Amino acid sequence: MHRRTLLTSSLAFTAIGGCGRAIVAPPRRETVGLDGAQLAQAMTAAQGLPRLHSVIVARDGQALTERVFRGPGLDTPVNIKSASKSVLAALGGIAIGQGVFTGVDQPISTFLSDRFPANPDPRLGQITIGNLLAMQAGLGSTSGANYGAWVSSRDWVRYALARPFESDPGQGMVYSTGTSHLLSAAMTRASGRSTLANAREWLGDTLEVDFPAWPTDPQGIYFGGNDMRMSPRALLKFGELYRNDGLHAGVRVLPEGWVQDSWNGRGRSRWSGNPYGYGWWLRRSGRHEVRFAWGYGGQMVFVVPDLRLTVVMTSDPSPVEQRDGHVNRLHDLMDRGFIPAAEVGAAQA
């Protein structure tokens, strides 16, 4: 079991005033590190979650706590489930930056019209790359109760494109892994190579992280939006890429403005109420904006931009009842533990 914890104690400041003199509070200072006492309490709570495998807490890119409670090590790729959608969205941004796609407004019919059903709904021609990224294609979901029939079909792309429309493209959010898979299919056509090859060159080589092969559909298209495998430390680098506005070690990886666009909520989940951007979920914790990648069972990458905080959590991904509260407890760890520890931190010298 790998365990590394660096605790930074908080510093208390007191203003002393003489008789008849006002006591003036010191100006609010930017914090660094993590408050040791609050961090220790949070890690104790984390250890008590039986499905939680690992936690990494980083401030300003430095991992201040790395802990494996159970399961694979921090450098072992694990199934990140639907957190894959956030990685796929990054690939979509790079594809736009490199001219593989002309932009978020490009119709998917440019690449997939031959996969449309006979006598297609005219709205298929209105779906854009941006609609796929934001889960606003309008097509009926292939997730949840519909997932099994979809992945058992002989052609995942045709099946997803044949789903009846629940809303017009660009309107309401319909969470569907089939929608993400259409992005993988369009990218494969547009680039002339697999999503795996693109992930390895566009992200893996630059971030120095491994992308093991993950499942494909019956036509050989890599699963878009599920079953990618990344190690917790690789996920940290991915989260830091977004926290640093698409830069890694001073090198621009994501197009300028892509992170801001990705963190602009477009649709909203009918279940959680959280907004969704391009592959990322959005919520608030007190006065802080939190952006997070979310995979089934609790595969999480949290970024809190104003606190310069990035947190990775991996969990047992085995099929379980999703209403057991585990994911809510991971959010509680952020709200009651890691975010307060970063708020206090240690005073900037």
- Say which amino acid occupies 38: Q
Edge-to-edge strand list for the sheet holding 281-285:
3-5, 62-68, 52-59, 309-315, 299-304, 288-295, 281-285, 275-276, 267-268
- Grouping H, G, I as helix, E, B as strand and the rest as coil, residue 252 is strand
* pLDDT surpasses 70 at 14: no
Say whether pTM exceeds 0.85. Answer: yes
Q: What is the pLDDT of residue 30?
A: 82
Mean pLDDT of 131-160: 96
218 pLDDT exceeds 70?
yes
- The model's confidence at residue 271, banded by pLDDT at 50, 70 and 90, is confident
pLDDT digits (tens, 9 = 90+) for 104-133: 999 999 999 999 999 999 999 999 999 999
Mean per-residue pLDDT for 267-273? Answer: 84
- pLDDT above 70 covers a percentage of the chain that reads 89
pLDDT, tens digit (0-9, with 9 covering 90-100), for 237-249:
999 999 999 999 9
CA distances from 73 to 26, 259, 334, 349 (A): 43, 29, 22, 35
pLDDT at 318: 81
Instruction: Name the pLDDT band for 323 (thresholds 50, 70, 90).
Output: low
- Among 16-20, 121-125, 188-192, the minimum mean pLDDT is found in 16-20
Domains observed in the chain: 1-76+231-349 (3.40.710), 79-229 (3.40.710.10)
Instruction: Kindly tell me the sign of the dihedral angle through the C-alpha atoms of 214, 189, 276, 66.
Output: positive
* Overall average pLDDT of the 58-68 stretch: 97
Q: What is the pLDDT of residue 18?
A: 36
DSSP 72: S
Please tell me the distance from the alpha carbon of residue 34 to that of residue 56, in angstroms, as a whole number: 13
pLDDT number for residue 8: 36
Q: Please state at what angle helix 232-243 crosses helix 84-97, rounded to 10 degrees.
A: 50
pLDDT of residue 320: 58
pLDDT value of position 347: 55
The H or E element spanning position 229 is strand 229-230
Start-to-end Cα distance in the chain:
35
